[in-house]
Chain A
Amino acid sequence: MKSAFANRVSVLCLASAVVLGGCAMGGNPKDPIEGYNRAMFSVNEGLDKALIKPVALGYDAVLPRPVQTGVVNVFSNVADVPTAINNLLQGKPAQAFSDGGRFLINSTLGLLGIFDVASQMGLEKHEEDFGQTFGRWGIGEGAYVVLPFFGPRTARDSAGLVVDIYADPIAQIEDVPSRNSLAALRIVSKRAELLKADKVVEEAALDKYSYIRDAYLQHRRSEVYDGNPPKRVDD
């Protein structure tokens, strides 16, 4: 004979177990919170469709290609600074030195980053972030997580994202309106770059959510090892 309170607690526990268990019962060991992830993925898709993509389409239609490339280059140049820092933290001083060199050359000869002169001079572009640094330090990737707005990450890369935002040169700008405008411009520019990829993903994917998830996980593993991931034993 259970008390009414105990009954309510039992029902609550059962409900939670069903909800959480339902998510875990998806059966994918690589995606333990698949239920939540799919829901958030839909939310992000909705946000993209309603707001971000239309702005990016307008931006792409209005701005001439060379100007778009210039914008991409400016933000890419800014990103070379945290990339250099991460390369140092990962014990890759040669790459860090190259990134520093890129930043100096492109900021001066490349007119504040508008022209990517450094690549033409043979200084290859790298992309590093704190998620990759943590990975290099041996921290496992953790569960796949779809973040609101930011999209696909792993648990480790979500932690990395927090540090990325903190270390972001744009975030250091004191004037709030300028900082926000630049951050917004960067988002639109990045989205515009991905417009052509939309169609490819739509055509290629049987299930867009899992296609993006699996591509993201593969790509990140490759990135942590700079293109030479150790052979995985799967199946």
Chain B
Amino acid sequence: MKFFAVLLAAASLLLPPGAQAQDATAPDALVKKVTTDVLDIIRKDKDIQAGSTKQAVDLIEKKVLPHFNFAHMTALAMGKEWRQTNPAQQKVLTEEFHTLLVRTYSNALTAYKNQTVEFKPLQVQPGDTDVTVRTQINQPGGKPLTLDYSMEKLPQGWKVYDVVVAGVSLVTNYRESFSTEVRNGGVDGLIKTLQAKNGSAQDAAASKK
């Protein structure tokens, strides 16, 4: 009896408050829910359709990015060079990569033109901790675009660590760019480049308002 009570107490400590639902969501269900939510919002939001990235950025930060594991994505994009970075650099790199992806993604969302998304079936075995969720974007006059999410199971739930659009892996593409920057100016050079890119875009956006 006592043992059972102890087990129960221990189990309840492991579950962070309010996160129980997140743990249970299967990766494909998660992708479907978030995608559907985001598309619904875009369809109703005239500002986003007109090209306003500010609303798109808000939408992405709230709805989409909580499901991404940026630390892992940044580490993957850095490849071998990650081992040469110290924790302070890692923190800055992760933040800058996050900002870069937010802006890129928000621009992509404003290009939405009534495409439809198909969700491919996924078989998740109970022990799986790494899956690829496949979706497909249908667009008029063109071949359907495949959009795949590489996801890993963490205590907080399933998180995305790579996005593959039409065969192009985001992480792999940035790995090339990052390694060139590191070769030219070291890790600090890469950080400077990212900060300049993120900073200048913010200035440009501010001046447009």
List A contacts of B173 (CB < 8 A).
211, 214-215, 218
Q: Is the CB of A10 closer than 8 A to any CB of chain B?
A: no
| Minimal beta-carbon separation of A199 from chain B (angstroms) | 5
B79 near A76 (CB under 8 angstroms)?
Answer: no
Q: Are B177 and A206 in contact (CB under 8 A)?
A: yes
| Cα separation A127 to B143 with both chains bound (whole Å) | 7
Contacts A69-B140, A218-B173 given; indicate if A203 touches B201 (C-beta within 8 A): yes
Residues of A within 8 A of B124 (CB): none
**Total chain A interface residues with beta-carbon distance under 8 A:** 36
Q: Does A136 contact B (CB under 8 A)?
A: no
A55 CA to B85 CA, complexed, in Å:
47
Number of A-B contacts (CB under 8 A): 80
Q: How far is the CA of A124 from the CA of B168 in the complex (A)?
A: 21
- Of residues 137 to 175 in B, which have CB atoms within 8 Å of A's CB atoms? 138, 140-144, 146, 166-169, 172-173, 175
Interface string of A120-132 (1 = CB under 8 A from B): 0000111100000
A125 touches B146 (CB 8 A): no
Given A207-B177, A215-B173, A218-B167: A73 and B107 interface contact (C-beta under 8 Å): no
CA A229 to CA B123, docked complex, whole Å:
20
With a cutoff of 8 Å between Cβ atoms, the chain B residues found around residue A127 in the complex are: 142-143
B141 contacts A116, CB within 8 Å?
Answer: yes
Residue B33, interface by CB 8 Å: no
Give, as a whole number of angstroms, the nearest-CB distance from B176 to chain A.
Answer: 5
B180, A210: Cβ atoms closer than 8 Å: yes
Task: Mark out the residues of chain A between 51 and 87 whose CB falls within 8 Å of any chain B CB in the assembled complex.
Answer: 65, 69, 72-73, 75-76
B168 contact from A126, A203, A206, A215, Cβ within 8 A: A215
Asked if B32 CB lies within 8 Å of chain A CBs, one says no
Contacting pair A219 B166 (CB below 8 A): yes
Q: Other CB < 8 Å A-B pairs besides A75-B141, A126-B143, 20 of them?
A: A125-B144, A127-B142, A196-B110, A199-B111, A200-B104, A200-B108, A203-B103, A204-B100, A207-B180, A210-B177, A210-B180, A211-B177, A214-B173, A215-B173, A218-B169, A218-B173, A219-B166, A219-B168, A227-B167, A235-B175
